[in-house]
Chains A and B, each alone.
Chain A
Amino acid sequence: MLTVNNLEKSIEGQKIYQNITFTVGESSIVGLIGRNGVGKTTLLRSLVGIIDPDQGEVLFEGTNIHLSPEIKKSIVYVPDSTSAYNSYSIKELVRLYKTIYIDFDEVVFYELMERFTLPRNRKIRMYSKGMKALIFIILAISTRAKCIILDEPTNGLDAVVKRQILQFLIEEVSDRGISLLISSHHLDELEKIADTIIMMKNGEIESVITMDDAKQHYQKVQVVYKGEFPASIENLENIKIIKKIGRVTTLLIKGNVSETCELLQKEQPLLLEELPMTLEDIFVSALGGEDLVK
């Protein structure tokens, strides 16, 4: 659906991102993560034609969005800040979206406003931050676009609103088969909804991992040995020790999960148990540093 080929961008002589290649398939939720300033927002802005990349192309269903911007009728971008629309009323926003996106479904929009108990007759500036985020996501959904790109949609929102938004997005993907590309540095949220995670580091894609891959290839375990943790296991390349408290060691196994578990078992542990694995564990392990994902 959305194909990004070898994208590269420099601003004021500084490379913001390079060698960016990935695909967002139909009915998928792709998470884009990375530290602040890694180039996520600039990349998203390039995907919708706000910024021109120096090199590479962005194709939506085979059409270059920079050369044929009309194709963007099927892509909606929800920026991280919506304060530019503060002077709009809901009615004005709906009117504007209706004239831009011919498939905009006003009935669905107002149904969703009602579902989330959002008041109608106000200027955007009068809504809370969470309400604004929700309104712009509802607007994007109501356009009936095939792909929605969201930049930090849940930043600064309380837990209840976050859950509402994430639940709503999952429903839309499963009901209508739309695709979502979500930039966030909240790994816990993406873990719940994304089926693919793109990790950016130093302006490049460090890895693209599907959640199924993650489950098959990674295993988090807690192990306790009578004496010291065996050096033979500690030196294994596919082992990453997450933490050690006394004799209790928590480690992450990357690949060859069953063989590595057998090796752990051979050393006769007092305790060996699987732990629930988080996305953060995988990234800290896969990318080799606790400071990579925050």
Chain B
Amino acid sequence: MLNKALWLKDYKQSKFIIWAFWLVSLYVPYKFYQHVNSTEYHYDYWKEHLSKHEEFQYYFNWLFTEASFLQILVLITLASVLIGYERTNQSLDFTLSLPYRRKDIFLSKWIFGVVNIIVTLTICVLISFLTVQGTIVADFLPNIVFLYYYLTAITVLIGVYSFSLVLGLIAASVASQFVFSWIFLYLPFGLWVLIERFITFHTLVFSGRAQYFDNWLTKTLETISFPFILIGLDTELSLFVEAKSEFTRLPYLLIPLLVTLISVFGLISLSRNIKSESNGKLLVYEGLAPFLKVGVVVCFYLLGGMFFGDYSYSYEGKAPNLSSYHIGGIIMAAISYVFLSKLMGVKFQFGKK
């Protein structure tokens, strides 16, 4: 699993993505640096002009949603390059012809990514911590914030990477692995939004009163789509720092931990019987194609309905038009079916004679 040759090969193939991960992760300490500067500026201003009248108010406006989003994007790209790109440019042939067990080849890719995530985040969080020390921010910002961020980022990002990596053994090209990773990571929440809008619309049409759902359900499904745990962390931490709320997100980390465990298990099981014959296609296993088609068509039907459905009552109190939802749904479902059918017949590979 810590095979030097496999690491050399993986690094050669993905070095630009690894550097990109460093770059976007360094955005976090840079944000801290900006935060320190801005806080010091406000503090100096307060000391000079306001200190006689009021207490200094510390605001923790730490917005790193963009950094988290980019980290997720880069890690999905990394996983897609390490397996999907190998399938697409045929270097997987070389990899599989090497004198190593398939399990070791793919676990090596997993460890390669995980080690990079841990090292990068550890260094970035340390730099962030050191940036704050000795400044006014250190007086107000509890050190445990760094630990909360560190634990959340590491757990979620390893979960994202592991999940995307195992999809490389189901998707047969770099493009399909990348797209499937995005879709399936956000599927629980995304699908719920579509279903919720479907129910809301139809209850509105038939009973005149829209059915709304409890916030906890949406919140739970948002948590199952675990990248949201990291993306929404800045708000949670801001509330925590400003003593308006407890930090309650740590138990949520069980979800990415579970996803990581299942993904590693899947990686080991699927790698034993990895199929190279479908390389470049959409899916490795042809048997999954009908399920994918049904899933895509249903989702696009709901999406079409959501976009085109007319939710509002008319001035005369006439109920929304049911047909607008379903015509929109049929159009989107038909387009997605045709597009997917075409895609399934295409073999996306290069470097082949």
Q: Is B353 touching A80 in the complex (CB atoms < 8 A)?
A: yes
Q: Given A69-B99, A72-B98, are A45 and B93 also a contact pair (CB < 8 Å)?
A: yes
Please report the C-alpha to C-alpha distance between residue A138 and residue B275 in the assembled complex, in whole angstroms: 29
Q: Which of A45, A96, A100 contacts B99 (CB 8 A)?
A: A100
Q: Is B135 an interface residue (CB 8 A)?
A: no
Q: Which of A48, A70, A88 contacts B12 (CB 8 A)?
A: A88
Contacting B at CB under 8 A, from A1-60, are 11-12, 42, 45, 48-52
Q: Is A84 touching B277 in the complex (CB atoms < 8 A)?
A: no
Q: Which of B89, B96, B98, B273 contacts A84 (CB 8 A)?
A: B89
Contacting B at CB under 8 A, from A81-104, are 81, 83-88, 92, 95-96, 99-101
B residues within 8 A CB of A99? 4-5, 8
Q: Is A87 touching B12 in the complex (CB atoms < 8 A)?
A: yes
B residues within 8 A CB of A70? 99-101
Q: B100: shortest Cβ distance to chain A, in Å? A: 6
Q: Which of B5, B96, B286, B351 contacts A50 (CB 8 A)?
A: B96
Q: Is B212 an interface residue (CB 8 A)?
A: no
Q: B85: shortest Cβ distance to chain A, in Å? A: 10
Q: Given A52-B273, A84-B351, A100-B98, are A79 and B8 also a contact pair (CB < 8 Å)?
A: no
Q: Is A81 touching B9 in the complex (CB atoms < 8 A)?
A: no
Nearest residue (CB) in A for B85 is A84
Q: Is B94 an interface residue (CB 8 A)?
A: yes
Contacting A at CB under 8 A, from B333-353, are 350-353
Q: Is B323 an interface residue (CB 8 A)?
A: no
Q: Is B97 an interface residue (CB 8 A)?
A: yes
Please report the C-alpha to C-alpha distance between residue A70 and residue B351 in the assembled complex, in whole angstroms: 28
Q: Is B351 touching A81 in the complex (CB atoms < 8 A)?
A: yes
| B9, B350, B353 interface centre (most CB from chain A within 10 Å) | B353
Q: Is A77 an interface residue (CB 8 A)?
A: yes
Please report the C-alpha to C-alpha distance between residue A79 and residue B96 in the assembled complex, in whole angstroms: 12
Nearest residue (CB) in B for A72 is B99
Q: Which size class do B's interface residues fall under? A: 20 to 34
Chain B's interface: helix, strand, loop or mixed, by majority? loop
Q: Given A45-B276, A51-B277, A83-B351, are A96 and B5 also a contact pair (CB < 8 Å)?
A: yes
Contacting A at CB under 8 A, from B134-175, are none
Q: Is A155 an interface residue (CB 8 A)?
A: yes
Q: Which size class do A's interface residues fall under? A: 20 to 34
B residues within 8 A CB of A50? 92-93, 96-97, 276
Q: Is B200 an interface residue (CB 8 A)?
A: no
Q: Is B131 an interface residue (CB 8 A)?
A: no
| A79, A84, A101 interface centre (most CB from chain B within 10 Å) | A84
Q: Given A51-B276, A83-B351, A84-B351, are A73 and B99 also a contact pair (CB < 8 Å)?
A: yes
Q: B164: shortest Cβ distance to chain A, in Å? A: 21
| A69, A76, A101 interface centre (most CB from chain B within 10 Å) | A69
Please report the C-alpha to C-alpha distance between residue A96 and residue B94 in the assembled complex, in whole angstroms: 12
Q: Is A85 touching B91 in the complex (CB atoms < 8 A)?
A: yes
A residues within 8 A CB of B238? none
Contact pattern, B 1-21, Cβ under 8 Å of A = 1, otherwise 0: 000110011001000000000
Q: Is B273 touching A49 in the complex (CB atoms < 8 A)?
A: no
Q: Is B116 an interface residue (CB 8 A)?
A: no
Q: Is A71 an interface residue (CB 8 A)?
A: yes
B residues within 8 A CB of A52? 273, 275
Q: Is B12 touching A79 in the complex (CB atoms < 8 A)?
A: no
A residues within 8 A CB of B218? none
Q: Is B324 an interface residue (CB 8 A)?
A: no
Nearest residue (CB) in B for A145 is B99
Q: B266: shortest Cβ distance to chain A, in Å? A: 18
Please report the C-alpha to C-alpha distance between residue A88 and residue B92 in the assembled complex, in whole angstroms: 16
Q: Is A81 touching B8 in the complex (CB atoms < 8 A)?
A: no
Q: B18: shortest Cβ distance to chain A, in Å? A: 15
Nearest residue (CB) in B for A96 is B8
Q: Which of B100, B286, B353 contacts A81 (CB 8 A)?
A: B353
Q: Is B321 an interface residue (CB 8 A)?
A: no
A residues within 8 A CB of B9? 96
Q: Is B65 an interface residue (CB 8 A)?
A: no
Please report the C-alpha to C-alpha distance between residue A188 and residue B4 in the assembled complex, in whole angstroms: 42
A residues within 8 A CB of B96? 48-50
Can you name 18 A-B pairs with beta carbons within 8 Å?
A11-B277, A45-B97, A50-B96, A51-B275, A51-B276, A52-B273, A69-B99, A70-B99, A72-B97, A77-B94, A79-B94, A81-B90, A81-B351, A88-B12, A92-B12, A96-B8, A99-B4, A100-B5
The 10 A-B residue pairs with the shortest CB-CB distance, nearest first, are A83-B351, A84-B91, A99-B5, A72-B99, A48-B97, A73-B99, A100-B5, A77-B97, A50-B96, A11-B277
- Taking Cβ atoms with an 8 Å cutoff, the residues of A that contact B are 11-12, 42, 45, 48-52, 69-73, 76-77, 79-81, 83-88, 92, 95-96, 99-101, 152, 155
Starting from the known contacts A79-B93, A81-B352, A83-B351, 7 additional A-B residue pairs (CB-CB under 8 Å) come to A12-B286, A69-B100, A73-B99, A77-B94, A84-B94, A100-B98, A155-B353
- Taking Cβ atoms with an 8 Å cutoff, the residues of B that contact A are 4-5, 8-9, 12, 89-94, 96-102, 273, 275-277, 286, 350-353
